[in-house]
C-alpha cells in the first residue's frame, strides 16, 4: 500500500514539474484563444467560455487516464 502511494506521489510531482515548465515558457500561449472559445465583450462586462479548450483538455486527460489504467 505504501509503495503505491509513493509511486503516485512521484508521478504527481513529475507531472506538476512538467506543467510548471510548460506554463513558465509559454509554449501553450495560443491555448484559450481557439476558434470555438466564446468571448463576448459588452459595455461594462465581458463573458468568456473556453468551450473548444475544455473539449481538448477532456480528450487529452481521457487518453492519459486510459493509458495509465492500461499499464497499471
If one compares 46 and 11, the residue with the highest pLDDT of the two is 46
Q: Where are the domains of the chain?
A: 1-28, 31-72
Residue pLDDT, tens place only, 13-58: 998 999 889 888 888 777 778 898 999 999 999 999 999 989 999 9
Cα distances from 70 to residues 1, 3, 63, 66, 67, in angstroms, run 20, 19, 11, 6, 5
The C-alpha atoms of residue 28 and residue 20 are separated, in whole angstroms, by 12
Enter the C-alpha cell of residue 68. 495509465
Nearest C-alpha neighbor of 52 from the set 68, 36, 66, 64: 36
Amino acid at each position: 500500500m505504501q509503495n503505491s502511494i509513493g509511486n503516485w506521489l512521484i508521478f504527481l510531482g513529475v507531472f506538476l514539474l512538467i506543467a510548471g515548465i510548460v506554463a513558465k515558457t509559454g509554449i501553450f500561449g495560443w491555448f484559450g484563444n481557439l476558434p470555438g472559445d466564446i468571448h463576448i465583450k459588452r459595455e461594462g462586462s465581458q463573458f468568456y467560455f473556453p468551450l473548444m479548450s475544455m473539449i481538448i483538455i477532456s480528450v487529452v486527460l481521457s487518453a492519459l487516464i486510459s493509458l495509465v489504467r492500461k499499464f497499471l
